[in-house]
Amino acid sequence: MTKITTRLIVIGILTAVFVGVMIVSVVFINQRSLNDGYLINIAGQERMLTQKIAKEVFMINSQNSNDFTHLNVALKEFEANLNILRFGDKEKNLKPPNRAIISRQLDSIFAKWVHFRSSIEDFKTLSNELYDNKHFLEANYSKILKLSDDIVKEMVQTKVSPVLIDVAGNQRMLIQRMAYFLIHYANWWDLVSYDEFKESYQKYDHTLVEFYHNLAFKQSPKLFQNIKETYEFWQIYKQHIQEILAKQEKIVEDLKSIADNNTEILNELDWVVNLYADISIHSRSYLEKFQYVAAFILCFLALYAIKNVLSINTQLKKFVRKTQILAQAEAQENLATMIELEGESELSLASQNLSKFLHKIDITKETSKRARELSEAISEEVANISEEILAKLEMTALSEAKKKSILKAINLSEDIATQSSEQLIVAARLLEKLHKILKEIKLVEKF
């Protein structure tokens, strides 16, 4: 049987170990959950930011704006979060990914991000230039329209043929059509609007060139001056239109690239988010299973501890009952046998030691009894010898001094005979001396 202290120490150590493991696992799960949750949140933010970046790009394009504040903030935040996912963050206790599959996926996202960001930066440059060109057209739309109207009015004053006046009047309508279809094309990128714009643009330019080179109009200085002024301004206005068309085509390419890259990055980020979520769920499930095993072991230890406590309690009751028997002296048999408990536990060893002690007491009692019996026998023998010596002294002719010495020895022998058993050896020696005195008296009688 294992000792009680050994069992208690083993139970205590195992309980402390598994409680410590449980605490460490709970702390680790919580920390891992926080880290996984933070990484999943960052990856989710990246998905949102890709959509926000695309939205800002298309809003800037549709609203003819050059305010890139929100777009720049989203770009900076996306890149910072992507660096955290790839390389970790010491301040937030986030480590780089330890799985090759995640690292490869993040590297792929970064490669697409570089192309995506390049398209956005190109869009920003073109959009800023396009904004200036559009702003010029909008600011000078009324001017080109007024110049065209002035030509019509001067033709009427000069009394040009109605056909030419009608053609000049049609120029005003072409300016309006150009403005309308150019805006529509810039917003919707549709080929119909572009074709309608191109047709109006070419008609207006062709007519104005014919007016500029018409010799009949040069005969009227004021009319020609209006045509010349309109022609020269149209060359500037036309250059801005051409730049808008060229930049718009590049912007359309950038927007298509941004839309495609945005979709690819978004899909890969979805995959990363799902992968982080799966890894987090798997890790948490593994740690939870470990906790369940540890909890089961703790329950087993608790049952084992209860079993040992009940066993110890049973032994204590037996030990107390044995000591009660000893205290009340109820046992009629040998107390040393009655008090002894079987086994190797501390209580059993204590009962065995107590049993040995009681056995020694029994031996001592037996020895004391024998000593008392021997003392009584010695006393009786001393008394008999003393009586015999006294009887002999009366009949023996000894000197008074010798008689007194013998009487003194007899009295001393009787005193010793009444003392404790520890002096039995001394009494035995005195007894031998008495026998010797008795022999001496007998010898005197013979003489």
CA distances from 7 to 17, 102, 294, 308, 349 (A): 15, 49, 20, 8, 16
Tens digit of pLDDT for each residue in 182-216?
888 877 778 899 899 999 999 999 999 999 999 98
Domain boundaries, the chain: 4-296, 346-446
d(CA 268, CA 111) in angstroms, rounded, equals 12
The pLDDT of residue 310 = 78
The number of C-alpha atoms within 13 Å of 45 and in the hemisphere containing its C-beta is: 17
Q: If 0-12 CB within 10 Å is exposed, 13-18 middle and 19+ buried, where does residue 366 land?
A: exposed
Identify which of 318, 257, 204, 296 has the alpha carbon closest to the alpha carbon of residue 54. 257
Identify which of 133, 429, 115 has the alpha carbon closest to the alpha carbon of residue 257. 115
Sign of the torsion formed by the C-alpha atoms of 56, 57, 62 and 66: positive
Tens digit of pLDDT for each residue in 84-136?
989 988 887 788 888 888 899 999 999 999 999 999 999 999 999 988 998 99
Residue 301's pLDDT band, with cuts at 50, 70 and 90, is confident
CB 151 within 8 A of CB 157: no
CB 226 within 8 A of CB 150: yes
Q: If 0-12 CB within 10 Å is exposed, 13-18 middle and 19+ buried, where does residue 371 land?
A: middle
Across the chain, what does the average pLDDT equal?
78
pLDDT surpasses 80 at 25: no
Residues forming beta bridges with residue 89, ordered by sequence position: 94
Q: What is the pTM of this model?
A: 0.59
Please tell me the least confidently modeled range out of 9-23, 188-202, 212-226, 253-267: 9-23
Mean pLDDT for 317-341 is 58
Task: Kindly provide the residue ranges of all beta strands, DSSP E only, lying in 86-235, ordered along the sequence.
Answer: none
Q: Give Dmax over CA atoms of the chain in angstroms.
A: 210
If one compares 125 and 34, the residue with the highest pLDDT of the two is 125
Residue 147's pLDDT band, with cuts at 50, 70 and 90, is very high
Rg, the chain, Cα only: 63
Cα 209 from chain centre: 78
Amino acid at 338: M
Tens digit of pLDDT for each residue in 261-298?
999 999 999 998 888 888 777 777 766 777 777 777 87
201 three-state secondary structure? helix
CA distances from 327 to 17, 316, 331 (A): 44, 16, 10
Tens digit of pLDDT for each residue in 345-404?
555 666 666 566 556 656 665 665 676 676 667 667 666 766 666 666 666 656 666 666
d(CA 439, CA 445) in angstroms, rounded, equals 10
Residue 327's pLDDT band, with cuts at 50, 70 and 90, is low
Amino acid at 356: K
d(CA 432, CA 409) in angstroms, rounded, equals 12
Name which CATH class applies to 4-296. mainly alpha
The pLDDT of residue 181 = 92
pLDDT surpasses 50 at 445: no
The pLDDT of residue 421 = 46
d(CA 160, CA 321) in angstroms, rounded, equals 142
Mean pLDDT for 41-63 is 89
The pLDDT of residue 280 = 74
Identify which of 329, 326, 327 has the alpha carbon closest to the alpha carbon of residue 340. 326
Residue 75's pLDDT band, with cuts at 50, 70 and 90, is very high
